[in-house]
Each structure stands twice: as structure tokens, then as C-alpha cells.
């Protein structure tokens, strides 16, 4: 349903429009991780996260007649911005359905990219139902956030770049840790690496208590999260892995790794100090796994994806404050 040819096609459609994000490193982080650590900085992607890749892939892949009627997406914020920006660059309308507790920055940016924003309650309302209804009413094409082949193919272009950059850094074999919500990025990267660099093995990373993919991979069937509220990692909180993404992850990924909110926030602070990049907490779970759960990882090198940087200032300051505080008291 999704394969390397689709990822290559998405890459061709994206050509010159997605940023080839850098693979960063710091000797200070290597020391904490106990191995060479490389960070694929997708927070530097257009719209502030990898979601621009999937958004562009999906919008550019539509029949022009269909596309011109407009698109709709539901998202906690990063997919929203990715689709909104891709739609604007194509000159078509975008309606974005967002949870009312999404970070203000993400809601504001989505509106600033010219999209119409419809808010819903994360636990009381079903975003799929709202999306489908609006889609029918207005003739909009629904761009699903992860369980959509064109989107998975777009996210997979991150994996094509990782394969090239790992070779440039002389990384032979390594685990590639990926922040995982519904699994679009994780499965897309896994497919790209299967074809282009099979010695790089993907591991999904999630927040503790919202580790639906980790548990699903362990049990062999799709497991749901008990709740969707209460994590600082808003970017990657989804009810369960997708029907398309899960079988891909099951076939290609190693076991999931779960990190605490505190560990994610500490990773945010360390990325600030050591890499000079801004990561949001949800985008920092893979870095947190590499830094604080090294015993679960194999190999002399590890690659982590920093998937997004759309974080409100007060949350970022909390991360810096918390980390500085701990440095003083320890």
C-alpha cells in the first residue's frame, strides 16, 4: 500500500521545497548517551515540523480538480500547520480541526497560514467524525494525519535523507529513534531505511502512559491509550496506532521506548544548551530515550529524530528552569 517507490515519488514532488534538515551532534550529548548521538533536526523543517513533508505530499498528490475544492485536516497542531502551509503554497483553501487544548502557538500559526480553524474537545468529541462531516458538507478532501499512504510517503522522505546523512557520518549500523504518535513518521522512515539503509533499525518512542504503539508492538495487536489528556507531549498523543502504519511498524521496527514527561523536558533543555535548536516536548521523546534509556539501545551510534519545535514560550522556559534547577541542587 505504501512502498519505496511512493516515497521516491513524494520526494520528487517535494524537490526543492522541503528543507534537507541537518544531522546535528555534540560531544557533550555523546558523553551523556554513552555513544555517538546524531539528531535529525526536523524542527528546522518548514512549518516547524516534519509534517510539512506529508502535508505537501498529500496536497500535491491530489487531482488538481479535486484539490481546488480545498482540503481539510484534523490535528493537534503540527499536521495542521504542515497541511495549511502546503495548501497555501498550492493556492487552495484549508479547514483545520484542532483540539481546543492545542498550544496557542500552533493554533495561531495555522490561522496565520490562512487556514480556517475549527476547535473541538479532545476527549468529549471524535475528531474523525467532525472531519468526515465537514469534508462531506463542503466537498473538501480529508488529509488524514497518519493513516494515509500519501502522508506516510511524504514523512518517509525524512528516512531517505537519514540514509544519506548516516553514510556521510560513517554510521554503519545504528538504531533510529523516532517520536511516535499515530506512526506516520515512524512507518515512513522504516520503509525508506528498509530499502536504502537496512542496517539502520527504527524504534518508536512515546511518552509513558501514552505508549499505545509500544504496547501494540509487544502484544501483537493494536492497543489504545487509556486517556488522551495529561501529557506535555501534545504532538504525539493519539488514540492508537493506525491500521496502515501498525503493520508496517510491526514488520520493520524494534520494540518501543517510553520516556517520562520530565525526561522529555530535560531533553528539550539539553537540545537548547548543546545543539542550539528548539524542540517541543513531544518532538524530544526520541532524544530523551537516547540520553536517559541507553541500556535499552544497541550499538556505538544512535540516530534520533527531533520531529518538531512548535512549543509555547512558557513551556520552553519551564524546561530550561527545571533543568537549571536540577543542576544547582544536584
User: Which residues of the chain form contacts with a copy of itself (CB under 8 A)?
Assistant: 19-22, 24, 27-28, 41, 43-44, 48, 85, 105, 109, 112-113, 269, 272-273, 275-279, 309-310, 313-314, 316-317, 320-321, 323-324
Enumerate the β-bridge partners of residue 37: 302
- CB 325 → a copy of itself: shortest distance, Å? 10
Enter the C-alpha cell of residue 292: 536517559
Q: Closest CB to a copy of itself among 39 and 152?
A: 39
- CB 118 → a copy of itself: shortest distance, Å? 22
Q: Closest CB to a copy of itself among 131 and 179?
A: 179
305 touches 178 (CB < 8 A): yes
Q: Closest CB to a copy of itself among 9 and 320?
A: 320
Compute the C-alpha angle 171/174/176, nearest 5°.
115
- CB 101 → a copy of itself: shortest distance, Å? 19
- CB 164 → a copy of itself: shortest distance, Å? 13
What 3-state class would DSSP assign to 85? helix
- CB 324 → a copy of itself: shortest distance, Å? 5
Q: Closest CB to a copy of itself among 21 and 213?
A: 21
Q: By C-alpha distance, which of 144, 111, 114, 141 is closest to 127? A: 144
What 3-state class would DSSP assign to 124? coil
Q: Rounded to an integer, what distance in angstroms lies between the CA atom of residue 214 and that of residue 226? A: 14
Count the neighbouring beta carbons within 10 Å of the beta carbon of residue 252: 17
Q: Closest CB to a copy of itself among 27 and 91?
A: 27
- Residue 17, CA distances (Å) to 2, 55, 89 in order: 22, 12, 10
Q: Closest CB to a copy of itself among 204 and 309?
A: 309
- CB 309 → a copy of itself: shortest distance, Å? 3
In this structure, the dihedral spanned by the alpha carbons of residues 158, 161, 165 and 166, taken in order and rounded to 10 degrees, is 60
What does the radius of gyration of the chain's CA atoms come to, in whole angstroms? Answer: 18
Amino acid at each position: 500500500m505504501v512502498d519505496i517507490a511512493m516515497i521516491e515519488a513524494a520526494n520528487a514532488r517535494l524537490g526543492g521545497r522541503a528543507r534537507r534538515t541537518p544531522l546535528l551532534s555534540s560531544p557533550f550529548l555523546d558523553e551523556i548517551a554513552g555513544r555517538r548521538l546524531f539528531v535529525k533536526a526536523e524542527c528546522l523543517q518548514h512549518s516547524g515540523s516534519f509534517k510539512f513533508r506529508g502535508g505537501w505530499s498529500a496536497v500535491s498528490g491530489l487531482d488538481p480538480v479535486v484539490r481546488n475544492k480545498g482540503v481539510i485536516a484534523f490535528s493537534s497542531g503540527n499536521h495542521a500547520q504542515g497541511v495549511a502551509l502546503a495548501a497555501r503554497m498550492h493556492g487552495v483553501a484549508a479547514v483545520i480541526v484542532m483540539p481546543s487544548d492545542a498550544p496557542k502557538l500552533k493554533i495561531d500559526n495555522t490561522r496565520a497560514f490562512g487556514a480556517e480553524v475549527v476547535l473541538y474537545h479532545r476527549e468529549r468529541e471524535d475528531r474523525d467524525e467532525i472531519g468526515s462531516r465537514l469534508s462531506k458538507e463542503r466537498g473538501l478532501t480529508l488529509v488524514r494525519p497518519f493513516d494515509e499512504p500519501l502522508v506516510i510517503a511524504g514523512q518517509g522522505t525524512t528516512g531517505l535523507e537519514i540514509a544519506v546523512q548516516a553514510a556521510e557520518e560513517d554510521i554503519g549500523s545504528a538504531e533510529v529513534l523516532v517520536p511516535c504518535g499515530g506512526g506516520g513518521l515512524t512507518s515512513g522512515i522504516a520503509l525508506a531505511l528498509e530499502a536504502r539503509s537496512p542496517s539502520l533499525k527504527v524504534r518508536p518512542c512515546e511518552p509513558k502512559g501514552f505508549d499505545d504503539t509500544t504496547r501494540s508492538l509487544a502484544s501483537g495487536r493494536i492497543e489504545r491509550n487509556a486517556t488522551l489528556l495529561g501529557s506535555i507531549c501534545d504532538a504525539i498523543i493519539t488514540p492508537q496506532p493506525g491500521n496502515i502504519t501498525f503493520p508496517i511498524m510491526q514488520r520493520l521496527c524494534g520494540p518501543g521506548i517510553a520516556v517520562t514527561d520530565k525526561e522529555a523536558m530535560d531533553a528539550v533543555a539539553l537540545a537548547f544548551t548543546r545543539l542550539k535548536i528548539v524542540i517541543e516536548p513531544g518532538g524530544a521523546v526520541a532524544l530523551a530515550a537516547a540520553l536517559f534509556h541507553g541500556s535499552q539501545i544497541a550499538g556505538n551510534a544512535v540516530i534520533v529524530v527531533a520531529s518538531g519545535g512548535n512549543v509555547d514560550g512558557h513551556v520552553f522556559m519551564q524546561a530550561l528552569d527545571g533543568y537549571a534547577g536540577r543542576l544547582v541542587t544536584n
